[in-house]
Amino acid sequence: MSDCLFCRIIAGEIPSKKVYEDELCFAFYDIDPQAPTHFLVIPKAHISSVSAIDAENSAVVGHIFEVIAKLTRELGMESYRVVSNIGEQAGQSVFHLHFHVLGGRDMTWPPG
């Protein structure tokens, strides 16, 4: 989608600090980090949020979690949080599915 910020990052039209890329997904550091380590993992296919996951496109989600396990291992992150905001009330500001991976500080529960 040409008007989607994250599709444009995947296409290289907007610069990002890439962590990882393969044929299905792309990972890059968040521009406004909320923890000492904060990166996003996104599918290359445009999916608007978790609420648009269905039988046709769900395989990429399992793949993304494999990638999160691999990247956090490589980065030495033993404890971390994976978050996906769905809808404006939950704080979603970019409507391309993404998983925040946050680590390197104490986390509170429940989240705000």
Would you please indicate which residues are annotated as catalytic (active-site) residues? 98
- Does 94 participate in binding ligand AMP (rule CB under 6 A)? yes
Which of Zn ion, ligand AMP, none is residue 14 near (CB under 5 to 8 Å by kind)?
Answer: ligand AMP
Among 22, 91, 105, 107, binds ligand AMP (CB under 6 A): 91
Residue 38: C-alpha distances to residues 2, 22, 54, 55 (Å):
25, 19, 27, 29
The CB-of-83 to ligand AMP minimum distance in angstroms stands at 7
Token pair of 33 as six digits: 């980090």
Q: 92 contacts which partner out of Zn ion, ligand AMP, none, CB within 5 to 8 A by kind?
A: ligand AMP
List, in sequence order, every residue forming a beta bridge with 80; answer none if it has no partner: 103
Among 32, 54, 78, 88, the residue binding ligand AMP under the rule CB under 6 A is 32
Strands 25-29 and 80-83: unpaired
Coil, helix or strand at residue 60: helix
- Asked whether position 52 contacts ligand AMP by CB under 6 A, the answer is no
6 half-sphere exposure, CB direction, 13 A CA radius: 23
2: contact with ligand AMP by CB under 6 A: no
